[in-house]
Amino acid sequence: MKKKRPVLMMKRMLLFCLVFILFLPPLFVSNQSTAHATAPANDTINIFPTPQQWKVNGTGFPLNPVVGLVVGDKTDPYAIQEVVKTLQAHGVKQIVQRHEGEKSPNTPVTIVIGGPSENTASVAALKALGVKGPEELTKEGYVLATGHAAGHKTIVLAGKDVAGTFYAAMSFQQMIQKRSGQDWIPGIEIRDWPKMALRGSVEGFYGVQWTHEERLDQLDFYGRKKMNQYVYAPKDDLYHRNQWREPYPEEEIKRLKELVDRANQNHVEFVFAVSPGASVCHSGDSDFQALIDKMQAVYDIGVRSFALFYDDINKDLHCGQDKEKFANDPSPFAAAQAYLLNRFNKEFIKTHEGTARLITVPTDYTGTGTNTYKERFADLVDSDVIFYWTGTDVASPQITGEQTKKISAIFKHDILIWDNYTAHDYNINDLITGPLTGRSADLSDYVIGFHANPMSGQPEASKITLFTVADYMWNPDAYQPENSWLNSIKDFSGDHFKTLKTFLENTYSSRFIQEESLTLTPLINQFWEDYENGSAEGAAGDLLAEFENVAQAPKELRSNFNNKKFLEQTEPWLHKLELYGQAGQIAVNMLMAQKENNGSLAWQQRQALEKAFEETEAIPQVVAKEVMAPFLIKALEMNDKWLGIIKTRSTTTMGTYRDYSKEKMIDHNPNTYYWSNRAVKVGDYVGIDLGGVFTVNNVQLLMGAKPTSKDYIRQGVLEYSTDGKNWSTIVTGDNKLEIQVSDLNVKARYIRYRATADQTQWVQVREFQVTSDKGTIQVSGTPTAADHSSLDYMADGDVLTAFAASTIPKQGDSLVFTLSRPAKVTNIVILQDTESTGKGKIEVQNEDGNWITVGSLADGYTMVKVDKTTNQFRILWNESLTPPIIHEVIPQFED
């Protein structure tokens, strides 16, 4: 016999409790009220998810401190509760409640809650307002109307069903406009319904599980955003997956019941999932009974929706009984899974009252292509079972109606999207806070619903993107990612919109969104343009102000933002952004100092920038990956160029996937490699900047992480240039992972391999090596280097390394720098540690072998003019107080 569902009785009891507990007692009710607010002009009404239809219906009216409610026997009690909370939050002091069969309260404003199926009073109220009722709307639809009914200020929240009325209450919360004096009820008529039937979240990630309190909070959030499903399927819950046969302990069952009850309050269907596929004997009675017992235990606490998952497992049968029973099927694994699904569907789902349709995840849950497993699974599984699908990939850049149409033709079942767009268990250092993108509006024509898989350790931050997901699921035709995202921040931040937006702009990008740092990026671009044109003062001021804003935003959030959970969960990203803001200011000041030829200040800022950048990069969390670090790196490169440091650098037009940085192209280690973060397009390239024009003889390019790799530039051309503008061809490439050219004898500074065709593959580069006549510098002399230091550090092109003297120099000691060939030296720059400087003369050897003094060492930064051809120069020491530390000695050459 089917078991009776106790939900209706519970709702009625709560409704009567609300009458006596939630409502303030009527003290004095008058139909005379004074409006202390004026009608707003041209106000924008922001309701999210975006309603399907709405129109302005008059100017509206003020929300009086005394409000009447008219409810019915079947009015959703949670909708009443939400309306009461909303009214109290907007200054209502007295609420007078009447039943649908009673005379309406004589209050300045009256709210009728519940559609015709809940509250018969809504029929007359809507008719008096001249508004059509919700009867023809789809499930969960609602009508929300305001106006004057027979001269009386009236608000009607009428759902197609109780969920619709609850959603009307959620929209009512958002439509009230803040005013000085009394808040304002706009004149409006909303007819709204969801485009997708199933809209929710699947806690299906690997890694840190959400806490019980976080899950409860998520369920409240889902209710507010009109999401109607939550799937309990944490991969690292042992009772969900590895120990699925084991019953949940009593304390866990109690917590699950709390979740189920909270879900019901928010009109969210709690879906309980089990993943038995890694060990189950599909045809075994004992395992089937263990599954039944597991599901019965949660059915008894109110769960009515169930799922069996077969994702992320090997296609192995685990018992001899299965191997024998399904051996003759073209796909024994699909046949075994279908057998268990169908048996559970027949013997549990169909025999328990109130249960929803069974949901499953096939083992092959991605892609639009077919195979024997997919076809047999589709043919054998009961037609009413819903299939999850993640799109063309585990985490899909795009999911379209056309793609879904293809998989629907293969699976032949209703498709429920499992979207890993918002998940980050693939890389927990990413913070996914941008809007949902890449999902076509027509997707709703081909799927039964859409579930997002959020972040594991950041449930609060997940709400930013989930808001936009909810907006998309409800009304995909009206969905505008950027607008939805901005409104998500407003909804989440309260009075801290600007500050939170600054933070979230700089964690905006993801695998699927290339944009980053929406305010900072154009300021950086303008600064570089003006800097290279010689007039960057204004752009520098703007950029410094924004970097200060970036640095201060985390501090302001920590001090003032009243969401401690969010702050705790995002602290590493906040800290990194703060450091980036500080480093950015240092970088701009360094660049402006060198623009003014203030070497001492530029060197001070360079040292500070190196320390700040190192501290920032020690934090693994990803912040403004393609903006902040590239800006600082370019600033350091510009400073190197100004100082005269000639350094070979790797270049590319593409971003970086994870930590596969472009520097790994030139690290002389074929076991490491650069990896782009997207597919190669025409004009993309990987390359080398030698730092100056030299005679190039040999080029070696090794693409792909291994010889069988598919990630390489399929069609390309190897080119060289002296100026980065005019290019000459060396050789073309056609499906070659490795390109080697020798005996070139060409003058070049830049070498690149440029794509000549679009492709779907990314690119990996193990090594990009160029052999040239680029000169070297040998260092000798005294004092000797201290332990863990080297004389060579003074001439290695890296200001981070430093020669530290082992002793204080004696009078007459010298350090000698020998060039690999004579050259015209225009200047010599010496960078000492400002805390440990030495004294001495700088001398150059002339063509006769004599030493000529050209200047003296200064504290920190020294630049002396030379204008002589030489192959040797030296520092001749005077008496010093401390052992000197020299970061770099840089001869600058005539172009």
Q: Is 137 left (phi over 0), alpha (psi -120 to 50) or beta?
A: beta
10-residue averages of pLDDT along the chain (895 residues): 39 39 33 33 74 94 97 97 98 96 94 98 97 98 96 97 99 95 96 98 93 98 99 94 96 98 99 97 98 98 98 95 98 98 99 98 97 98 98 95 98 98 86 95 97 96 98 98 97 96 89 84 97 95 98 98 97 98 98 97 97 95 92 95 91 90 92 94 96 93 93 97 95 94 95 96 96 92 96 94 96 95 95 94 95 94 96 94 95 87
Element (H, E) at 855: strand 851-856
- pLDDT digit string (tens) for 781-835? 999 999 999 999 999 999 999 999 999 999 989 999 999 999 999 999 999 998 9
Q: Are 857 and 832 in contact (CB under 8 A)?
A: yes
Q: What is the C-alpha to C-alpha distance for residues 502 and 497, in angstroms, rounded to an integer?
A: 9
Q: 889: helix, coil or strand?
A: strand
CB atoms within 10 A of CB 604: 18
User: For every residue of 73-92, which 3-state class applies, written as one string?
Assistant: CCCCHHHHHHHHHHHHHCCC
Q: 647-773: which CATH architecture?
A: Sandwich (2.60)
Q: Is 797 left (phi over 0), alpha (psi -120 to 50) or beta?
A: left
Closest to 218 measured CA to CA, from 501, 452, 562: 452
| Bridge partners (DSSP) listed for residue 764 | 675
What is the dihedral sign for C-alpha 498, 500, 502, 505?
A: negative
Domain residue ranges in the chain: 7-192, 198-478, 494-643, 647-773, 777-893
Distances (CA, A) of 126 to 102, 170, 798, 870: 17, 19, 77, 96
State whether residue 340 is helix, strand or coil.
Answer: helix
Hey, what are 346's tokens?
């027949």
The DSSP code for 435 is -
How far are the Cα atoms of 168, 784, 810, 881 from residue 787, in angstroms, in the given order?
Answer: 74, 10, 19, 20
CATH class of 494-643: mainly alpha
Q: What is the per-residue pLDDT for 859?
A: 87
How crowded is residue 593: how many other Cβ atoms within 10 Å of its Cβ? 20
Relative to beta strand 715-721, strand 449-452 is unpaired
Q: For residue 398, which phi and psi values (nearest 5 degrees)?
A: -140, 145
Tokens encoding 840: 């001495």
Q: Are strands 152-159 and 359-361 parallel, antiparallel or unpaired?
A: unpaired
Q: Which residues contact 430 (CB under 8 A, 6 or more apart)?
A: 424, 510, 622
> Which residue, 546, 551, 574, is CA-closest to 433?
574
Those residues with Cβ within 8 angstroms of residue 25's Cβ, 6 or more apart along the chain or in another chain: none
- As a residue count, the chain comes to 895
Taking Cα atoms as reference points, which of 215, 208, 360 lies closest to residue 275? 360
- Helix (H) / strand (E) containing 66: strand 66-71
Which candidate, 184, 186, 167, 136, places its Cα nearest to that of 51? 167
Instruction: Calculate the alpha carbon distances from 102 to 67, 109, 344, 417 in Å.
Output: 16, 17, 49, 47
Distance in angstroms (rounded) separating the CA atoms of residues 30 and 269: 42
Q: Which tokens belong to 809?
A: 């120099």
- Beta strands (DSSP E) in 136-219 are 142-149, 152-159, 184-185, 188-192, 198-203
Note the CATH number of domain 198-478.
3.20.20.80
- Give the C-alpha separation, 262 to 452, whole Å: 20
Nearest to 299 by CA among 351, 343, 241, 360: 351
Please, how many CA atoms are within 13 Å of residue 736, restricted to the half-sphere of its CB?
15
Look at strands 715-721 and 415-419 and give their pairing: unpaired
- Report the SS3 class of residue 258: helix
Confidence (pLDDT) at 44: 63
Q: How far apart are CA 860 and CA 375, in angstroms?
A: 73
User: Minimal CA–CA distance to 301: which of 241, 248, 367?
Assistant: 248
3-state secondary structure of 605: helix
Handedness of CA 869, 872, 875, 877 (dihedral sign): negative
Nearest partner of 199 among 479, 486, 565, judged by Cα = 479
What's the pLDDT score for residue 169? 99
If you ran DSSP here, which 8-state letter would residue 235 be given?
Answer: T
At 674, phi and psi to the nearest 5? Answer: -80, 145
What's the pLDDT score for residue 35?
Answer: 31
Q: What is the pLDDT of residues 365-388, one digit of tens each?
A: 999 999 999 999 999 999 999 999
Q: Which amino acid is at 66?
A: V
What is the Cα–Cα distance from 835 to 666, expressed in whole angstroms? 34
The SS3 call for residue 709 is: coil
The CATH architecture of the domain made up of 7-192 is: 2-Layer Sandwich (3.30)
- Report CA 59 to chain centroid distance, whole Å: 40
Tokens representing residue 449 in the block:
């619903």
Same fold, 647-773 and 777-893: yes
For 566, phi then psi, to 5°, come to -60, -45
Q: Please report, for residues 201, 354, 440, the alpha-carbon distance to residue 447 in angstroms, rounded to integers and kept in the order given.
A: 16, 23, 12
Distance, CA of 225 to chain centre:
20
Pick from 472, 587, 552: nearest CA to 227: 472
Contact present, 268 and 200 (Cβ < 8 Å) = yes
Residue linked to tokens 């782009």:
676
Whole-number pLDDT of residue 1: 36
> Which residues neighbour 299 within 8 Å (Cβ) at sequence distance 6 or greater?
3, 352, 355
What number does CATH give the domain 777-893?
Answer: 2.60.120.260
Catalytic residues: 312
pTM: 0.86
Alpha helices (runs of H) in 518-670, residue ranges in sequence order = 520-533, 537-560, 564-595, 599-617, 628-643
Q: What is the DSSP letter of 17?
A: H
Please report, for the chain, how many H helices and E strands are present, in that order: 19, 32
